Amino acid sequence: MPSIPLPSPDPQELLAPPDISLVMPCYNEEAIVGQTIRRTLAAFRGAGHRLQLVAVDNGSRDRTGAIIQEYVDQGQPVIHVRVEQNQGYGFGILSGIPSCTAPWIGFIPADSQVDAHETVHLFEEALACEEPVLAKARRRFRMDGFIRKVVSVTYNLLFRALWPSIASFDINGLPKILHRDVVRRMGLSSKDWFLDPEIMIKSHYLGVRCIEYSVFARMRSRGLSHVNAGTCLNFFSGLIRYRFSSELARWRERAPSSVVVSGEVLSGRGIE
């Protein structure tokens, strides 16, 4: 059993379809994943929203998978997806999406740096919109070190230079929440850290409005970050490659000119 077990969910909660599915990729996160699961489940339950938490053990070599399974065995609304060999952050999310059954799909980190109640707030903001949106966090108040902040600012400035019409100040900010029909139309494919920019770019070309909510991003209380110099190189090279390769152009040729969400048609903007 989890070291700090949650109350057993109401049977009706498990029988009713979920309101939102959250995909959480976890790679060697045994020090923090249990805390993140507890806080996330408690926050959504307290707000009256039925959550399906898809926890992806993304090729971990520690007890991450065993801890996730403890919550499954406890009867919590947690889906345990196992990736045998880590192929990247994006691959973890892509592996979890097929298990999502709710009308809304979100992506969250396993590190608890953004409070779970902020994820609830983002979901409620998305629900309140009359049009399909990408609801995401902007980590405006970050407790990262100086070097990390410089890299983040430079990266976001480069993104704005390449895609000036995409109004976001934190491209990689999580959580991100979208309607499942939008996720399906995106045809996401990035197996690495470029998945976040891919989501931002494709939602833009599909005409999905992005709403950002400023959040406080605390430092990790446990575990180690998997962002390193190689990750930064991947970030920058990925932006250049995607902007000037034919990959994006091919997707735009195949992409629908409109997105149908709950019976409503959203026309794409066709922005360059």
| Predicted local distance difference test score (pLDDT) of residue 7 | 81
Q: Rounded to 5 degrees, what angle do the CA atoms 109, 112, 116 make? A: 95
pLDDT, the chain, mean:
88
Residues forming beta bridges with residue 125, ordered by sequence position: none
Residue type present at position 229:
A
Enclosing H/E stretch for 155: helix 146-162
Enclosing H/E stretch for 100: none
| Predicted local distance difference test score (pLDDT) of residue 149 | 79
Helices 195-205, 229-244: crossing angle, 10 deg rounding: 30
| Predicted local distance difference test score (pLDDT) of residue 150 | 80
Please tell me the CATH superfamily of domain 13-267, with its number: Spore Coat Polysaccharide Biosynthesis Protein SpsA; Chain A (3.90.550.10)
| Predicted local distance difference test score (pLDDT) of residue 63 | 98
Q: What is the pTM of this model?
A: 0.89
Q: Could you give the C-alpha distances from 166 to 76, 158, 160, 202, 220, in angstroms and in order? A: 38, 12, 7, 10, 29
Give me the numbers of helices (H) and strands (E) for the chain, helices first please.
10, 9
- Average of per-residue pLDDT across 122-135: 95
Hunting for tokens 């790679």 — which residue is that? 27
